[in-house]
Amino acid sequence: MSEVAAVADGTTSGVRTEAVDTAADAGGAPIVRVRGVRKTFGGVDAVAGVDLDVRTGEFLSFLGPSGCGKTTLLRIIAGFERPDAGSVEVAGRDITALPPNRRPLNMVFQRYALFPHLTVRDNVAFGMRLRRLPRREIAARVAEMLELVQLTHCAGRHPNQISGGQAQRVALARALANDPTVLLLDEPLTALDRAVRGDMQQELKRIQAEIGTTFVYVTHDQEEAMAMSSRIALMSEGRIVQLAPPGELYRRPGSVFAAGFVGDANLLRCRVEQHAGRSAVVYAGRPLPGLDPAGRSGEVRAMVRPEDLKARVASGDDAGELVGELVSSTFHGFFWMHRIRIGHELLVVREAGDTSSIRAGDAVALEIEPGRAVLLAD
């Protein structure tokens, strides 16, 4: 309980995350513990063995392409799907066998799922009325929740009289009114217009920081996951392939899949070779500095983000540097994207600023920002 209090005090997400991390490192039990969960639909593994600890107060996202099992995993935690194997614990209690109405969790649905026959106020009060809370308490809590999502003026309207963005805020207020141990969100912004979506991201972050509830969020949008999460569970084919904070996932992706799914990536086809008496990762005949090929041999893949490559016109004495030809450049307002051919591969280089120093057809020398190349697992 003291953890939650500490979280509620934190005003910025940075403060909050640190506070929670310390608590978790100090041996705080995870709020949700998923063990060995599997689910098959018609012979296809939707969730193929997932172990996961969700920390108290964090904003954890399940990120992955459609069909990766992220929604199924969320629905298993919510109780809408029974896992074929494995268990789900919330706050130390095994809830695997409980129906959704007896779990201390609430969910925000992709298409709002507001009750069309009830007003916004009655929608928010729904859960509390089921629990037969005193009328006064319900009214106060409804007012508090509507204020939290800034919809006090819509209390008397029906769901068909409000916009999509408002509807999703009502859904959020309705779920939070029950004071859930963990809030589950199933792609809640997908049905919204692009312009509204950005606002809602900020809104969700603000609300989470304000109330300190643990959020488990499903999305296929990597930018959304990066912008909001304290940690991201990257999923593929029913498994969590990497679980890390956004920065780490971006900077140190563990696999080719992770590198390609999160952000833009240049995947360099390299070889581990002996170079100057030591084993090194060699790309286009040149060893890449800062990469340790320990335990690897033969073909390996390294990744460099487009913004970590610098290109300049080759000067002739570029011995030991990567040299290629600029194939094309496109202008994106505040940066340029250059496509550069090295051997048979095309590398993408991002150059900040509104003028470009190189032109198509130029022979260019490439430099990798020190420490920014990453060796990927196979």
Partner 1 sequence: MRRGLRAAQHGLVGVAVIYLLVPVAVVVLFSLQQAKRTGLPFEGPSLRWFDLIVSDESFRSALTSTLKVAFGAAVTATTIALLGTLATARGMVRRPGLARTAGLAPLVVPPVFIGFSLLLTFGEIGWTPSLLTVYLAHVLVTTPLAWAVLQARFSRFDFSVEEAARDLGAGVLMTFWRVTLPLTWRALVGAAMIVFAFSVDEFVVTLFVVGPDDTLPVLVWSRLRRSIDPSINAIATILLIVVLASAFLAWLLLRTRKGGLGEEQATPGDPGSLVPSLQRAERREEESVHV
- Supply the minimum distance, in Å, between the C-beta of residue 160 and partner 1: 4
Instruction: Examine residue 97 and tell whether it contacts partner 1 (CB under 8 A).
Output: no
Among 44, 85, 97, 130, binds partner 1 (CB under 8 A): 130
Instruction: Examine residue 174 and tell whether it contacts partner 1 (CB under 8 A).
Output: yes
Letters for 226-245 (x = contact with partner 1 by CB under 8 A, - = none) are --------------------
CA 304/CA 300 separation, integer angstroms: 14
Q: Compute the Cα dihedral for 149, 153, 157, 161 and give only its sign.
A: negative
Look up residue 34 and give its amino acid. Answer: V
- Supply the minimum distance, in Å, between the C-beta of residue 4 and partner 1: 21
Instruction: Examine residue 196 and tell whether it contacts partner 1 (CB under 8 A).
Output: yes
Among 4, 63, 90, 192, binds partner 1 (CB under 8 A): 192
Query: Furthest-apart CA pair in the chain: how many Å?
Result: 82
Instruction: Examine residue 114 and tell whether it contacts partner 1 (CB under 8 A).
Output: yes
| Closest residue by Cα to residue 61 from 305, 257, 249 | 249
Which residue's entry shows tokens 């990120």? 63
Nearer to partner 1 by Cβ, of 24 and 32: the residue is 32
- Supply the minimum distance, in Å, between the C-beta of residue 63 and partner 1: 22
Stretch that binds partner 1, among 19-27, 171-179, 276-284, 334-342 (CB under 8 A): 171-179
Nearer to partner 1 by Cβ, of 162 and 216: the residue is 162
Which residue's entry shows tokens 């599997």? 38
The angle formed by the CA atoms of residues 243, 249 and 252, to the nearest 5 degrees, is 115
| Closest residue by Cα to residue 285 from 322, 252, 318, 317 | 322
CA of residue 133 relative to chain centroid, distance: 36
- Supply the minimum distance, in Å, between the C-beta of residue 93 and partner 1: 17
Instruction: Examine residue 100 and tell whether it contacts partner 1 (CB under 8 A).
Output: yes
Instruction: Examine residue 126 and tell whether it contacts partner 1 (CB under 8 A).
Output: yes
CB 152 within 8 A of CB 186: no
Look up residue 103 and give its amino acid. Answer: R
The angle formed by the CA atoms of residues 200, 204 and 208, to the nearest 5 degrees, is 170
Instruction: Examine residue 106 and tell whether it contacts partner 1 (CB under 8 A).
Output: yes
Among 14, 36, 65, 99, binds partner 1 (CB under 8 A): 99
Alpha helices (H) along 93-229: 120-130, 135-148, 164-177, 194-211, 222-228
Q: Quick count: other Cβ atoms within 10 Å of Cβ 150?
A: 13
Instruction: Examine residue 28 and tell whether it contacts partner 1 (CB under 8 A).
Output: no
- Supply the minimum distance, in Å, between the C-beta of residue 114 and partner 1: 6
Instruction: Examine residue 162 and tell whether it contacts partner 1 (CB under 8 A).
Output: yes
Letters for 64-93 (x = contact with partner 1 by CB under 8 A, - = none) are --------------xxx-------------
Nearer to partner 1 by Cβ, of 131 and 332: the residue is 131
Q: Which residues lie near partner 1 (CB under 8 A)?
A: 78-80, 99-102, 105-107, 109-117, 126-127, 130-131, 158-167, 171, 174-175, 178, 191-193, 195-196, 198-199
